Structure 1
């Protein structure tokens, strides 16, 4: 939908937001380094895989790679992969992926010029200005899933807070049921055990009215694989790569890169390790199922050399993002980036760090913006206010990426001539008829002068965001779902609960 397309007038209580749409990035990706330097990182990654190798704790993966011709040292679980194996695997990776949730109208594309967003994922805590900071609960998860559904600019689910009041072996069942009933957007799968993956994929298949086998023919979920940099794949992450590939579902291969801590204190060394660990996952996934969907994940950053803390959302992370985009294009893989911030509260720093991260992702040509809404405390907490403020940032980015229409009508030469020198356009027919739709209307930002702002309560952006998330929850509408589907989900949850759930590996 173009921003100048007429639509109904909004009521004063309505939350101002853009319509649901697949975002398109028309900007040419920004290369930060030369093509020769891209190749230097590629060759370095291949050398690391060939000579240093990757320690992989999962015996089934070691056996599979040994069968493919890799050198496996069982004594220290080290796998060395030749570049011929890597190049063969890269032949079958997919340049574009379509994910279809239970509501096909919420399908998204990852690849090409498309940009998709997903909510914050994984924090154990949450906070808001009304109730304060707390450990995550199933009730909090439900509220944050409702916000995910309510805001159109958040296009896929994350796992916005851990429901710590639910026992671990049953947590995935309760959380997935909430995700599938409170939203109709693409669900997320945590790869923490083989049984847990199968349970969640089965529930997602039920939601689409399919068997697990049928579900594998049409991707409909996603998961993140975080390697243990440097050069280590643990059991849950390796199982995640293999089982998601086996079921035809995409993984975001994302090394845990902190330059100066988990990598050398250079951007080049960090990106060489990032690339090597991604390529190891690519090989593993393609050996399990050629054509299995994978993304080049880049969440690389430096550490603060004084404190050792990750420098989320700061300048060197943006440099890694731009280089990550170049590496992903080198391999014809969709790219995952992130809306990261180091800030502990939704303040000015959180805003500029997130804005920098989001615009760097667009400049890099990223196809998926993870943690698009809600991230604070370096990912240890989800903020309700930051969720709304991030929606403003990402909506602004989305609007920026829409080319304006340039034609005889929009050039408006007749209108300019009628007003003439020294006039104004406040009262022209066009201005009156399009005053709500001509330009971007902010979700949170205030354009009032100081006096009007003071009369309206003198609230900060975070305080205004509080009113918006409260409004969103008050007017939340549960998406349509067939009652028989809910019954089938409940029956599955009850059966798996009776069977003991799924302990973590």
Structure 2
């Protein structure tokens, strides 16, 4: 064997060993990335600025207050200490807000039907998932949009079940093929639960729909007691209509959900420059004030009920007034809100990963990457709308959902940060290589040991050399995403036991 052949053989053997090592499954606790990793390294606000925003939010609640609470909410909040003025607005004294913050639930667990997917919302643990109410499904091959259907939602849930880096599934599309609103709410719940065993979020279009949907949920759970022991669905609730108004029907629906034992997401979704102030800091002030009012509302009904502090301020492109979900300003708003969640010690959620691009292209990549990384580094507990969302929340793309799993993997690796330990900075490895060793670290014991525990590898991202890429017939990223999406859909079905599925379909009009 000549020298060049021998060198080629060594490289080939080393590569084969590395490939085999990467293919071996890892125990959950030593994976380089996993759900609930701790962020918080990035802080766009100083401690003084956080305190200033807090003070401004308390002042807004005392001086401006919120209007249009339903009578049931007025009664609960005034009994707790809120003051209703002659103008009908509820105002919240500082002492009341502080008392309710003391009662609010912390370190909550959002259960999943499969306990391995439970989400522990404490400190700065980070989880990425879907959300939104897109009305279109994006076809990136034909470059078209069409109305989203209940089958599309079910397919999205089945795909999320197979994605390691998408940790929960909140309803991401509206079933526009179902015209009856109650049937739409029932089918939304059932499509999500049939597709994934991860924690689910949904909303209800009318308060009267909560009771029949809870009947369906109890049947899925195996009874009301089993449901209350492990509630695996949360209510995404737009309880306010910014600026500083309660949404009456949503508030009544929220009251029903609380009494039914369902965790709630207190969602304030103002748009800076439109329904929220244009300054980024003041947009955060309004969102914080509205969500603090939500904390008072929830805890005046059921102290300690699990609620997520959902400050979701969005951004306007001030040239047009259109939403700009993929902007740097959006990333700053979300990261700033994450700091406020941590300041209060409350489980928090906000939006990131939205793309203004209409297709999964380079623009979508940079928008999703920047906003998700900043949200994760800021220690946001629940990163909603992190994958799949296009056209500023109007379109959802299944292929983008698959591609987004790679983006979130890289974001999670950034969240993990750099491990500085005695072993990781020991000079022994350098001495072994540099002092009479091979002069490189390829194939060393340390390198092989860290290949899977320190480094992440994309499932679809292409790291071939140009020569390898040509030899592989120039694989296309989008084509590979289409193939992976279809492979998942072809190989998975409903998670509902057959007999339970038959019973549910006999009782309710299921459309998928």
User: Shift in Å at residue 283 of structure 1?
Assistant: 0.6
Q: Which residue in 1 is equivalent to 2:268?
A: 255
The 2-side partners of 1:20 and 1:486 are apart by 35
State the partner residue of 2:386: 372
| Residue in structure 2 matched with residue 446 of structure 1 by the alignment | 462
SS, match of residue 122 in structure 1: coil
The structural deviation recorded for 1:263 is 2.4
Match of 1:308 in 2: 321
Match of 1:101 among 101, 112, 125: 112
SS in 2 for 1:222: strand
Deviates more, 1:160-169 or 1:381-390: 160-169
Q: CA RMSD in A?
A: 3.2
Match of 1:182 among 178, 189, 195: 195
Do structure 1's residue 359 and structure 2's residue 373 form an aligned pair? yes
3-state SS of the aligned residue for 2:170?
coil
Preserved contact between residue 22 and residue 451 of structure 2 (Cα < 8 Å): no
Residue matched to 1:268:
281
* 2:168 pairs with one of 124, 134, 156: 156
In 2, are the aligned partners of 1:120 and 1:382 still within 8 Å (CA)? no
Indicate the SS of the match to 1:60. helix
156-165 or 274-283, which deviates more:
156-165
Cα offset for 1:310? 1.7
**1:77, distance to aligned residue in structure 2 (A):** 4.1
Q: Could you tell me how far apart the structure 2 residues matched to 1:441 and 1:478 are?
A: 29
Structure 2 CA distance for aligned equivalents of residues 48 and 410 of structure 1: 50
Q: Which moved more, 1:328-337 or 1:32-41?
A: 32-41
Matched, 1:32 2:44: yes
Classify the secondary structure of the residue corresponding to 1:53. Answer: coil
Cα distance change of structure 1 residues 19 and 279 upon mapping to structure 2, 3 Å threshold:
same
Hey, what does 1:129 align to over in structure 2? 140
State the shift of 1:477 in Å. Answer: 5.4
- Cα pair 1:322 1:361 within 8 Å, conserved: yes
Is residue 355 of structure 2 the alignment partner of residue 341 of structure 1?
yes
Paired position in structure 2 for 1:390: 404
User: C-alpha displacement at 1:91, in angstroms?
Assistant: 1.0
Name the residue aligned to 1:281. 294
Change (3 A) 1:401 1:364: closer
Please, which moves more after superposition, 94-103 or 364-373?
A: 94-103
Matched, 1:472 2:472: no
**1:489 maps to which residue?**
504
Counterpart position of 1:208: 221
Q: Match for 1:322 among 335, 339, 357?
A: 335
- 8 Å CA contact 1:374–1:390 kept in 2: the answer is yes
Residue 260 to residue 437, structure 1, CA distance change in 2 (3 Å): closer
Deviation of 1:407 (Å):
6.1
Conserved in 2, the CA contact under 8 Å of 1:102 and 1:207?
Answer: no
Residue 392 of structure 1 and its aligned partner are, at CA, apart by 0.8
Whether 1:196 and 2:209 are equivalent positions in the alignment is yes
Q: Secondary structure at the match of 2:84?
A: strand
Whether contact under 8 Å (2:186, 2:213) holds in the other structure is yes
Matched-pair contact (CA < 8 Å) for 1:56–1:62: no
Q: Give the conservation status (yes or no) of the 8 Å contact 2:32–2:453.
A: no
CA distance 1:22–1:5, shift in 2 (3 Å): farther
Unaligned runs of 5+ in 1: 11-17, 498-505
What is the CA–CA distance in structure 1 between the aligned matches of 2:278 and 2:429, rounded to whole Å? 60
- The count of corresponding residues between Structure 1 and Structure 2 is 483
Within a 5 Å distance, the mapping from 1:57-72 to structure 2 comes to 57-72=69-84
Structure 2 distance, partners of 1:8, 1:333, is 39
Instruction: Provide the C-alpha distance between the structure 2 equivalents of 1:351 and 1:48, rounded to a whole number of angstroms.
Output: 38
Contact 1:242 1:284 in 2 (8 A): no
How far off is 1:437 after superposition?
7.1
**Using the alignment, how far apart are the partners of 1:249 and 1:314 within structure 2?**
33
**TM-score, length of structure 2 as denominator length:** 0.85
Report the alpha carbon displacement of residue 225 of structure 1 after superposing the two structures with TM.
Answer: 2.5
Work out the CA distance in 2 between the residues paired with 1:410 and 1:199. 59
Separation in 1, partners of 2:105, 2:437:
56
Q: For 1:459 and 1:377, locate their aligned partners in 2 and report how far apart those are by CA, in whole Å.
A: 27
The alpha carbon displacement at 1:21 in A equals: 4.5
Q: Larger deviation: 190-199 or 151-160?
A: 190-199
**What are the superposed Cα offsets for residues 276-308 of structure 1, whole Å, 9 maximum, x if unpaired?**
100111111001100011122232233111111
SS of residue paired to 1:328: helix
Further displaced range: 62-71 or 141-150: 62-71
Partner of residue 233, structure 1? 246
Rounded Cα–Cα distance in structure 1 between residues aligned with 2:72 and 2:454: 58
Deviation by residue 1:375-406 (Cα, 9 ceiling, x = unmatched): 11111110122212211111112233446595
